[in-house]
Structures are given as C-alpha cells and as structure tokens.
C-alpha cells in the first residue's frame, strides 16, 4: 500500500505529531537535569554549535563532539538566521529546533508504517512503542545529534518501505544521517544489501551497480571528506576513546530485540510442520550459543545500559552473564521470524532486517554500547515488521499498547526525576 501526499489522514496526523513535539519541548525545563541529553548538550554539542557560530561553518575545527558536524552546522546556521549570538540550553532555538527535526522524523516514521500497509489507526498504535522510549524523547528536547541522525534513519526506513527499488531518496537520507553521525555510513549499505540479495548470484549488473552508486554515493562523499579531514572515522581528539571493534553493540541490539520483540511475534511466524520446526529451533539455539560465547569474558558490560547493568548483577558462567543467553536467543528468534515475513512478501532479505543489520554493523566499529544507540533502531525494526503483517489481531495489538503504556509511564517517571 503506497502513501500518497494527498491522503487526508497524513495532514491530521502531521498536525498531531508536530503539536506533540511542541508540547514535549515545553516540558523540557521540568525534566531531570541528570538526563544524558542535558549533559551531552552542555559539555559537547552547545560548545560545538557556538564555535561554528563564531568562526563559521567549516571542516577544520576543534572537536568538542565525537560525531559528525552536520547537526552543529544546521543549528549554528539556524541560530544565526534568527539573530542569536550564542546558544544555551534555554534558548528557544534549542527548545524548538530539535523538536522540529524530531517531528519531521516522526512524519517519515508515520509514512513508513503507512507504506508498509498499516491503517492510520494501526499506524498510531504501532508508533506508540517507539515514541514511549526515553531515547526518542531526549533528542526531541535537547540539542544533541541524535535528532538529525534519527530523521535520516526514519527517512531511510520510509524509502525502503515505500520504494524498495528506488535508491536515490534512500541515498540522500543516508547522507544526512552520516554527516550527523559518521557511524551511520554503513546503513547506506542496507539498500545495496537488499538489492544484491534480490539479484544474487547475478550481482555485477547495472540493476545492482546503478542502485548501489545512487545509494552509497552521497554517504561516501560525506564520509570521505570527514576521513580526509580527521585522518580516520573520528576526530583526532576522540580516537583513543572511540576507535576499535567490539561485538558489544551487535549483541546489545539483539538482546534489546529479545526484550521488546516477543510482543511483536505472531502465531503464523512459526507455522511449520514438526520436523521443520525442530530443525529451526536447533539452528537458532546453536547460533545463539555461539553469539553468547562471543561475548567478552566480562560479559561486555557497560555502565550505560539498563540491560547490561542488570545482566552484570546476576549469576555468570565462565564470566558471561546468564541473562544475556535467553535475551540473545529471543533476539535471534525475532530475526528469524522477520526474515520469514520478508520471504513471504517476496523479499529474500526483508527491508527492515537489512537496515537493522547494517546499522549494528556500523555500531560495532566503536567501543561503546549505549542503550540509546540501540533502542530506537530496534523499535523501528519491530514496528515496520508489524505494519507489514497482513493479518490483524486487535487483541494482540491492544495487549502490546497496554504493555508499552507501562513503559511510557516509567519513561515519564524517570525523565521528570521522580525516580
């Protein structure tokens, strides 16, 4: 089902989404000052924005932030156009600029769900899990780079859902994400990955090479310029902290997928005969065990994730927290179910899985495994996959909404400092 810009419901939902983001921006002064968005904005992003306001938009600059300069350029230009001399957290540009970018991201998210086949009502229902996340709200409230990179990510999701064989829109969205956060470079490969899987084994044809150029070209231009300037994928000031490969972000993404994903499963995802089901279970268990043993002996624990904190406090086996094994197993089950759905819909690799795989491949090129780097892509994957389901299960959807209503309440409780 395609989404037309002339559909009446998109205007109503657009007004609701923009209004929602404006109200959230007004609430930001009452939020817990210990939230990561406050600290990141004041320590890294506001100084970077103010430097560009003073010295102009350029590639050669002292890096307060480890991310790409795209968001800082955009905010600096916006502030200067509106007559500001410098920004702080209470500046109206910092309140409403990120909120506007997040609202625009929501429009792409809504359009992606509609293009995947969901009705307007089901689209809002599927969207609720994502907007109930603290990691969605915070970039809407504070000047941090996630609001622009999230916009690009949602625009890529829309391009894959609406026109999975038209790459130019996807390439432009990928470039916007890459210039905001250079780790998004490999997400540009999602379109190419899906295209190659569709054309395999005849991959060296214009039907593959042409889309690959349009998809990867914009992001590669951006990344090449940054690498030449920095001498690597991160600014020189941040290389020691960020450089290096770690399986932690990939495993973290699968663990989060396991936590949320069981709510998005359907009975038909496992409609096989007994022998096929037994074989699939054996493969899933073996693969999950292999992933679990790939964890570092300290369990890959980081102090920046609820998942990793809880896992580190529970019993371990050979230095690996036992909690991560069932979570990884459930994550692999979700991936398998979504791959099956894509196959039934005519794709060798489903669009949302290709985006998910490339995103977490990019995240593995760093040492950090913050939960906020994983939660939004995980929920985006799950919501898109639900929207593509042809069979409706209102009771299941209602249960999902109730479950995430509790999560939403917990989010507000934590963000307002009550917890």
pLDDT tens across 56-113, in order? 988 889 999 988 999 999 999 999 999 988 998 889 999 889 988 988 898 899 889 8
Q: Is the pLDDT of residue 33 over 60?
A: no
Per-residue model confidence (pLDDT) at position 187: 79
**pTM for this predicted structure:** 0.87
Task: Determine the average pLDDT of the residues in 181-191.
Answer: 81
14 to 58, 105, 107, 163: CA distances (angstroms): 34, 11, 6, 21
pLDDT at 70: 94
The fraction of the chain above a pLDDT of 90, given in percent, is: 17
Among 8-12, 223-227, 407-411, name the most confident range: 223-227
Arithmetic mean of pLDDT over the chain: 81
Start-to-end CA span in the chain (Å): 43
Q: Which two tokens stand for residue 200?
A: 């395999």
Position with higher pLDDT, 346 vs 377: 377
Give me the pLDDT at residue 331, please: 93
User: In this structure, what DSSP letter does residue 234 have?
Assistant: S
- Residue 44: pLDDT above 60? yes
Task: Evaluate if residue 8 carries a pLDDT over 90.
Answer: no
Cβ partners under 8 Å of residue 264, min gap 6:
334, 382, 383, 385, 386, 400
Beta bridge partners, 317, equal 320
CA distances from 375 to 125, 197, 274 (A): 18, 26, 34
Residue pLDDT, tens place only, 314-350: 888 877 788 888 999 999 999 999 888 888 888 888 8
Q: Would you place residue 3 in the very low, low, confident or very high pLDDT band (cuts 50, 70, 90)?
A: very low
Burial of 173 (0-12, 13-18, 19+ CB in 10 A): buried
User: Structure tokens of 251?
Assistant: 């495993």
Domain range summary for the chain, segments of one domain joined by +? 244-388
> Rounded to whole angstroms, what are the CA distances from 43 to 39, 47, 51, 144, 370?
6, 7, 13, 11, 18
Q: What are phi and psi of 90, to 5 degrees?
A: -90, -5
What is the reported pLDDT for 416?
A: 62
Q: What is the DSSP letter of 85?
A: S
Tell me what the mean pLDDT of segment 229-235 comes to. 87
Share of the chain above pLDDT 70, in %: 85
């Amino acid at each position: 089902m395609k989404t037309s810009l002339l559909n009446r419901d998109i205007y109503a939902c657009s007004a609701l989404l923009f209004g929602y983001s404006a109200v959230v921006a007004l609430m930001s002064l009452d939020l817990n000052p210990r939230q990561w968005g406050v600290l990141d904005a004041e320590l890294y992003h506001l100084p970077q924005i103010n430097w560009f306001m003073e010295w102009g938009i350029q590639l050669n600059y002292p890096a307060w932030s480890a991310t790409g300069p795209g968001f800082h350029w955009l905010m600096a230009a916006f502030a200067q156009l509106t007559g500001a001399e410098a920004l702080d957290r209470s500046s109206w540009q910092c309140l409403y600029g990120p909120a506007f970018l997040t609202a625009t991201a929501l429009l792409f998210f809504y359009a992606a769900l509609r293009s995947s086949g969901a009705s307007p009502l089901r689209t809002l229902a599927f969207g609720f899990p994502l907007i109930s996340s603290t990691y969605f709200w915070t970039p809407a409230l504070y000047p941090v780079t996630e609001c622009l990179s999230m916009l690009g990510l949602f625009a890529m999701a829309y391009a894959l859902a609406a026109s999975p064989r038209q790459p130019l829109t996807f390439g432009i969205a990928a470039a916007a994400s890459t210039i905001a956060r250079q780790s998004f470079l490999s997400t540009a490969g999602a379109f190419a990955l899906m295209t190659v899987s569709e054309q395999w084994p005849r991959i060296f044809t214009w039907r593959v090479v042409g889309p690959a150029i349009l998809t990867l070209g914009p992001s590669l231009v951006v990344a090449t310029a940054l690498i030449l300037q920095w001498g690597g994928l991160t600014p020189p000031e941040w290389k020691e902290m960020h450089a290096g490969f770690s399986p932690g972000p990939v495993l973290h993404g699968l663990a989060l997928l396991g936590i949320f994903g069981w709510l998005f499963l359907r009975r038909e995802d496992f409609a096989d005969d007994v022998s096929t089901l037994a074989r699939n279970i054996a493969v899933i268990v073996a693969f999950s065990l292999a992933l679990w043993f790939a964890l570092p002996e300290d369990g890959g624990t980081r102090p920046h994730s609820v998942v990793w904190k809880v896992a580190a406090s529970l019993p371990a086996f050979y230095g690996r927290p036992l909690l991560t094994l069932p979570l990884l197993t459930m994550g692999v089950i979700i991936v398998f179910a979504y791959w099956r759905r894509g196959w039934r819909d005519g794709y060798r690799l489903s669009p949302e899985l290709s985006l998910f795989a490339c995103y977490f491949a990019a995240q593995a090129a760093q040492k950090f495994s913050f939960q906020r780097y994983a939660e939004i892509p995980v929920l985006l994957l799950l919501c898109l996959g639900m929207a593509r389901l042809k069979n409706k299960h209102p009771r299941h959807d209602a249960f999902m909404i109730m479950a995430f209503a509790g999560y939403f309440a917990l989010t507000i409780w934590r963000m307002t400092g009550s917890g």
